[in-house]
Each structure stands twice: as C-alpha cells, then as structure tokens.
Amino acid sequence: MKKFSVKIRLTVWLTLLTVLLAAVLFAFMLIVSSTVYSHSAMSQLSQTVKNNVTQISMEQDQLRFGDEFHFYQNGVSTLIYSRNEALLAGQIPVSFTAEEAFQNGLTRTVSSGDQSWLVLDLWLPMGWENGVWVRGLMEAPDHRLIARNLLPVFLIALPVFALLAALGSYRIVKRAFVPLDTISTTAAAINEARDLSRRIVLPPGRDEFSRLADTFNQLFERLERSFEAEKQFTADASHELRTPVSVIKGACEYAQKYDETLEERQETLSMIYRQAVRMSDLISQLLSITRLDQGTELTSPETVNLGELLRFLCEQQHYDQRRLTLEVPETLTVWADPALLTRLAQNLIDNAFKYGRPDGHVWVSACRSETEVLLQVRDNGIGIAPDQQKKIWQRFYQVDPSRSRENGAGLGLSMVEQIARVHGGYMTLDSVPDRGSTFTLHLPVQNMV
Ligand code: ADP
C-alpha cells in the first residue's frame, strides 16, 4: 500500500469504508424488516382471532358463529377445539403437522416441517364443557425469503455504491490536494528555474495548506533576500578589492617606466604600502563579518571591566586627546568578548572623528540602567539625515563615498551591529544633521556581572 500515492490510499480507504457501511446498513435493514414483518403478522393474527372470538356464541349446547366470523381470513386459519382438545370446527392447514399444546393468550412460533407458524390460542369460557379453545394459525414471515428478496437489490446496489464512492472520494481527495500540488509544482519550478522571485499563489483561506504556502513564501522571500545580499556582497567586495589592486598595478607599471630618483620610488612604494594596508584591512573586515555571520568568529566571553577597557582604548588613540572625553563609572563589569568589544568601540570612535568637524569633540561613555548596560559614542559632527539612518548599517553603504573612500569601505557599522548581536544586544542611533550623532550599544541584563 505504501507504494501508492496518498490520494489513491485515501480513496481506497474511503471506498472500503463506504462498502462496509453499506453492508452494515443492509444487515440492519434485514433485521428491521424481519422484526416489522413479525410484529405486523402477530398483530394481524391476534386481531383476527379476537374478532372471531366475539362472533362465537352457544345456543342450546350448539356453537353459533356470527356473520363476521371467518375460518380463513387475512392468512389466518381459525380452529375451534373442545376442552379436551378435539377439533370441533375449522380446517387445519395441510402443512401444519405439529402437535402443539394449548397455551392461553400466548402468540408463539412453532416449527412444522421446514416452515414456521405463528400460533395463538384463546380460551373462550361458555356453558358447554365450560368453554372452547379458539386457535389461530398463520404462516410466520420467512426471514430467508426476506433476505432472498433484498439480496439482489443489495448485490446490484453495492457495486454501483462502491463505484460512486470511489469516484466521489477520488474527486474530493484530488480537489483537497490541489493546493499541495500547487505548492510542490511551484517549489519544483523555483528549484529548476532558480527563480526565487516566484511565489505560491493559493485561493484565499486560512486552512493548513494556506499556512504551509505562507511559510514557504516567507522562506522563499528570505532566501531571495539573502541570495541578493550575497550577490551584492560578492560584487561589492570584489569591486572594493579591485580598486587598490589596480592602483598598485598602475603604480608599479609607472614606477618601472618613469621613476628615476630614489624619492620618486619611495613615494610610489609608500602609495603601494597604503593600498596594501587598505586591502589587508578590507580582507580582515570581510573575514570577520563572514565569521560573525556564520557564527564561527571566536567569541571568548569573560568578565570585562568596561570602564578599564574604554580607558585603555581611549589612551591608545592617535587622535588629539583634548578632543576626546571619557565618562565611565569606576566599576562596571560585563560578560563579553573583550576583543570584539574593543573592535566595536574603536569603529565607533574612528567614525566619530572621521565624520566630525575638524575641531569637533567626541564623548565616550558607559553606564548601567535597571535592565541594560549602555556604551555610547557621541560626536558633534556632520550627523546623518533621517532617511540614511537605516541604510548605514548595510554592508558597503556609505552616505558620501567620496568622504570616506580613503579609509573605509562601508563595512564598519555592519560589523558593529553584528558584534552587538553576538552579545545578545543591539545598536541604536540618534543623529541630527549638522549637530552630531550618538551611537549606543545596548547589552541586556544577562551580560551584567
Ligand atoms: P565607513 O566609515 O567605512 O564608510 P561605516 O560602516 O563605518 O563605513 O559607516 C557607514 C556610513 O555611515 C559612513 O560612510 C558614513 O556616511 C556614516 N557614518 C558612520 N558614522 C558616522 C558618524 N559618526 N557621523 C556621521 N556619519 C556617520
């Protein structure tokens, strides 16, 4: 059975069930019709015998029968017997040969040969010999005959029934499976054509299939987005890497042809060095982002004194220390990876200076609230327009590429956001163009120690 499709299996089960139901129905009909026949035969017997009894009288020791007395009526033979069971009037049906003792008022079934009879005796008290027995005899309904009459009907109806049930079930099952077919053909088409923009379209409804289709569509949407992002990422990464490579290539060619003095060569060499550093920074950023993405970036969380970490970091900065203010409490410890936290803070500090005014100021602070630890880097620089504030977290996105091209490729904030995420936290930005920006890392309470 397992090698057949679910549709066929369901159809077979439904058909078998219908046939079984029809058989049970047939047996039930047989029982009911036999019972009804028996009851109506018994009441006919009793009615006829009772009617006849009212028509019997005795005049001068002679039995008299009224006009409405019938020895044979409605299939009932009426017989009159004396007290000592001698037949006085009436004719015993030829096929009734049983010796049946008299029992007053009890209708019973008596077998005679291969036939059954319904027998009812009534004792009618009257002057002569104190009374007479009135016996009613009637052929009992033959159950086998009823079955024999019903069987052809059943035998003809059953195959028709089974066929209708099979066709009906198959139609219903097929229709019920249409959405599933649509889902699997669309999924197969997407797979074959590698067209992730296609979606499963089902008629509106809130059944299991619609929910399945919704889930698949969401999956396709996510796949499409990550596929597009992957494509974009690869294109951007190769573009970003190609630029310093072609600068280095061009510089080498030029130096080979035209650089004659030592100074010229030194200059070319330092340009090549700058480009190589840029490339190496880019490669390590790309590697780090990929590892954070895949969850393979080594995170070694430990108890970190955030105040100490930030103080040490700020002291290391090559920026003018007078333009940098640090505000941290004496003890503020968190459970985090110190290397990643340092990278996050360094990126934010670099940006704050890079996009600040020439004489601008940068504030680095950390504090704790009831539920979070906050690390903030604020500047009074150029700020970010509201419509750009969401985009700056995307990889390779730069508001003004000409401004940041020399040192940066638009990967810093993407990495910052990922570092926040691997710590179970998130980043927020508060920025006003020409007034400045505040980048805040929110670490959840679990990270407090
Ligand atoms: P990069 O600095 O290498 O361009 P980032 O991912 O660090 O890349 O930043 C993305 C963009 O966000 C930057 O190009 C810049 O336009 C904007 N940005 C980041 N930090 C600031 C800031 N403190 N003030 C203004 N703009 C900022």
136 lines ligand 1 (CB under 6 A): no
Distance 256 CA to ligand 1 centre (A): 37
Q: How far is the CA of 348 from the centre of ligand 1 (A)?
A: 9
Q: What one-character DSSP code corresponds to residue 98?
A: -
Q: Which of 392, 415, 418 to mutate to test the pocket of ligand 1 (most atoms within 8 A of CB)?
A: 392
Show pLDDT as tens, one digit a residue, over the chain (449 residues).
Answer: 567 788 888 888 888 888 898 889 888 888 888 888 889 999 999 999 999 999 998 887 788 889 999 999 989 999 999 888 889 999 999 888 888 899 999 999 998 888 889 999 999 998 667 889 999 999 988 877 777 888 888 888 888 888 988 898 888 888 888 888 888 888 888 888 777 888 888 777 777 888 888 888 888 888 888 888 778 778 777 877 888 888 889 888 888 888 778 888 888 899 899 889 888 888 887 887 777 777 666 677 889 999 999 999 999 888 988 999 999 988 889 999 898 999 999 999 999 999 988 889 999 999 988 889 999 999 999 999 999 999 999 888 888 777 655 567 888 998 899 899 889 999 999 999 999 999 999 998 766 66
Q: Which atom of ligand 1 lies closest to the CA of 352?
A: 23
State which of 404, 418, 434 you would mutate to test the pocket of ligand 1, scoring each by most atoms of that ligand within 8 A of its C-beta. Answer: 404
Using alpha carbons, select from 137, 167, 146, 158 the residue that is nearest to residue 72: 137
Of 121, 98, 122, 96, nearest to 108 (Cα)? 121
What ligand 1 atom has the least distance to the C-alpha of 398?
A: 14
Distance (Å) from CA 398 to ligand 1 centroid: 6
Q: How far is CA 170 from CA 20, 21, 165, 207, 356, in A?
A: 18, 18, 8, 20, 73
Question: What predicted TM-score, i.e. pTM, was given to this entire model?
Answer: 0.55
Please work out whether the CB of residue 351 comes within 6 Å of at least one atom of ligand 1.
yes
Other CB atoms within 10 Å distance of the CB of residue 410: 20
Tokens linked to 358: 């020439």
Query: Comparing C-alpha atoms, which of 124, 136, 133, 126 is closest to residue 62?
Result: 126
Residue 384 beta carbon below 6 angstroms from any ligand 1 atom: yes
Q: Which two three-digit tokens encode residue 112? A: 């005679």
Residue nearest to atom 21 of ligand 1 (CA): 351
Distance in angstroms (rounded) separating the CA atoms of residues 119 and 374: 104
Q: How far apart, in whole angstroms, are the C-alpha atoms of residue 179 and residue 193?
A: 21
